[in-house]
Amino acid sequence: MKKFLLMLIMAGLSGCETVPDKYQQSHTDNRLVGTWTGEYVEQDGSVRSWTQTRKVDGTYSIEFLFMEPDGTIERQTETGRWWTQDELFHEITPPGMKQPDSYQYRFKDNRCIEFLLVASDDASEEIGQYRFVECLSNKVPLAALIN
């Protein structure tokens, strides 16, 4: 968990860096555009919840809320780029990430998506084991999803 937090802090502090050219012109699955919420419970009992807004231009912002078993609460915000390719969802937060995280994804229904991590440079999450669900939120107006 601490490695994950450190990575998020580093990414957030340097979020003004550019995304490598090879990720600039990729396809986006418009079904993923919108504001989504999710939650993941770690083995130690800490809870990671988030609200992620994916825009049609392939950019995203995400606000994390980390709740530790001792009651400590931390917030973290990051921005980056997302796209779909080869039936996978990819996201990258430069400059802290040199390679994107890649996920298999499938729609459980028209409002919820299940993700499974299949590739990552970050060793804090187990590839093939880190699975979560995001559901579409009604809290953000569609105008916020456009540049």
Question: 106-121: per-residue pLDDT in tens?
Answer: 999 989 999 999 999 8
Contact 92, 23 (CB under 8 A): yes
Residue entry with tokens 């609460």:
73
- Cα dihedral sign, 31-34-37-43: positive
Neighbours of 8 (CB within 10 A): 20
In CATH terms, 2-145 corresponds, of 3.40.50.970, 3.40.50.1980, 3.40.50.2300, 2.40.128.50, to 2.40.128.50
Mean pLDDT of 92-98: 89
The whole-angstrom separation of Cα 71 and Cα 82 is 32
Q: What is the pTM of this model?
A: 0.76
- The pLDDT confidence band at residue 126, using thresholds 50, 70 and 90, is confident
Contact 134, 52 (CB under 8 A): yes
| CA distances for 122 relative to 30, 35, 64, 112, angstroms | 27, 25, 17, 25
Tokens found for residue 4: 């994950």
Q: Which letter does DSSP use for residue 141 in this model?
A: -
Whether a cis peptide bond, with omega within 30° of 0, leads into 95 is yes
Domain boundaries, the chain: 2-145
- The pLDDT confidence band at residue 53, using thresholds 50, 70 and 90, is very high
The percent of residues above 90 in pLDDT, for the chain, comes to 63
Neighbours of 107 (CB within 10 A): 12
The whole-angstrom separation of Cα 118 and Cα 146 is 29
pLDDT value at residue 21: 56
The rounded mean pLDDT for the chain is: 82
Residue 6 has pLDDT above 50, yes or no: no
The whole-angstrom separation of Cα 140 and Cα 136 is 10
